[in-house]
Chain A
Amino acid sequence: MTASAVDDRRGLRVEDLRVAFEGKAVLKGIDLAVEPGEVLVLLGPSGCGKSTLLRAVAGLEQLTTGRVWWDDDDLTDLPTHLRQVGLVFQDHVLFGHRDVAGNVGFALRVAGASAPSVTHRVAEALEMVGLAGFEGRRVDTLSGGESQRVALARSLAAAPRAILLDEPLGSLDRVLRERLTDELGALLRRLDLAAVHVTHDHDEAFALADRIAVLGDGRIDRIGVPDEVWADPGSVHAARCLGHENLLALDVRGCCALGQLGAGSGTVLLRADRLFLGGATEGTAAVVVSTTRRSGRPVVTVAVGDVEVRVPVEEAMPGLVMGDEVGLVVAEDAVIPLTD
Chain B
Amino acid sequence: MDTDRPAVTSLPRRLAAVGVVVVPAGFLAVFFVYPVVTIIVEGLGSDGLRRLGELPGRASFRSVAWFTLWQAVVSTVLTILVALPGAHLLARRRFRGKALLRAATTVPFVLPTVVVGGAFLAVFERLGLDDGPMRLTRTVGAILLAHVFFNVAVVLRTVGTFWGDLDPRSGEQARVLGATPWQAFRWVTLPALRPAVAAAASIIFLFCFTSFGVVLVLGGPARATLETEVWRHAVSRGDLASATAVALVQLAAVVATVVATNRLQRRRTVTQRPVRRTSLPRAGIGLLAGNLCLLAVVLGLPVFVLLERSLRRSGAGGGWTVDHYAALADRVSLLPTSALGALGNSLLFAAVAAGLATIVGGLASLVVVHGRRCFARTLDLGMMLPLGASAVTLGFGMLLALDEPPLDLRSSRWLVPVAHALVGIPFVMRTVVPTLRSVDQRLREAAATLGASPARVRREVDGPLAMRALAVGAAFSVAVSLGEFGATSFLPRNPDRLTAPLALFRLLGVPGDALRGQAMALAVVLMALTAVAVLVIEGGRNRGGVKGDW
Binding site for B on A (CB under 8 A): 21-22, 55, 58-60, 62, 79-87, 89, 93, 95-97, 106-107, 110-111, 154-155, 158
Contact = CB atoms under 8 A, between A and B. Distances in A.
Nearest to B188: A95
Contacts of B167: 93
Interface residues of B, number: 23
A155 B191 contact: no
Nearest to A154: B177
Given A62-B281, A93-B167, A86 B176 contact: yes
A80 B169 contact: no
A95 B191 CA distance: 9
Given A59-B175, A95-B192, 12 more contacts: A21-B279, A60-B175, A79-B181, A81-B177, A81-B183, A85-B176, A87-B172, A93-B167, A95-B170, A110-B177, A110-B180, A155-B176
Contact of A106 (B172, B177, B192, B281): B177
Nearest to A98: B191
A22 B279 contact: yes
B249 to A, nearest CB: 37
B192 A81 contact: no
Contact of B178 (A55, A96, A111): A111
A58 B176 contact: yes
B270 interface: yes
17 contacts: A21-B279, A60-B175, A79-B181, A81-B179, A81-B181, A81-B183, A81-B184, A86-B177, A93-B173, A95-B188, A96-B192, A97-B194, A106-B174, A110-B177, A110-B178, A155-B176, A155-B177
Given A22-B279, A93-B169, A80 B191 contact: no
Contacts of A93: 167, 169-170, 173
Contacts of A60: 172, 175-176
Interface in B139-193: 167, 169-170, 172-181, 183-184, 187-188, 191-192
Nearest to B184: A81
Nearest to B194: A97
Smallest CB-CB A-B distances: 4 pairs: A107-B177, A80-B175, A87-B176, A97-B191
B178 A107 contact: yes
Chain B binding surface SS class: helix
Contacts of B176: 58, 60, 80-81, 83, 85-87, 155
B183 A110 contact: yes
A48 to B, nearest CB: 15
A81 B173 contact: no
A83 B175 CA distance: 10
A76 B448 CA distance: 60
Contacts of A85: 176
B169 A89 contact: yes
A227 to B, nearest CB: 33
A161 B183 CA distance: 22
Nearest to B94: A22
A160 to B, nearest CB: 8
Contacts of B178: 81-82, 84, 107, 110-111, 158
A79 B180 CA distance: 9
A84 B178 CA distance: 7
Nearest to B167: A93
Contacts of B281: 62
A153 to B, nearest CB: 12
B173 A89 contact: yes
B280 to A, nearest CB: 10
Interface centre among B181, B187, B191, B270 (most CB of A within 10 A): B187
A158 B192 contact: no
A86 B175 CA distance: 10
A59 B181 CA distance: 13
Contacts of A87: 172-173, 176
Contacts of A59: 175
A60 B184 CA distance: 13
Contact of B270 (A89, A96, A158): A96
Interface string B494-531: 00000000000000000000000000000000000000
A111 B184 CA distance: 12
A80 B178 CA distance: 7
Contacts of A81: 175-181, 183-184
Contacts of A86: 176-177
A121 to B, nearest CB: 13
Contacts of B183: 81, 110
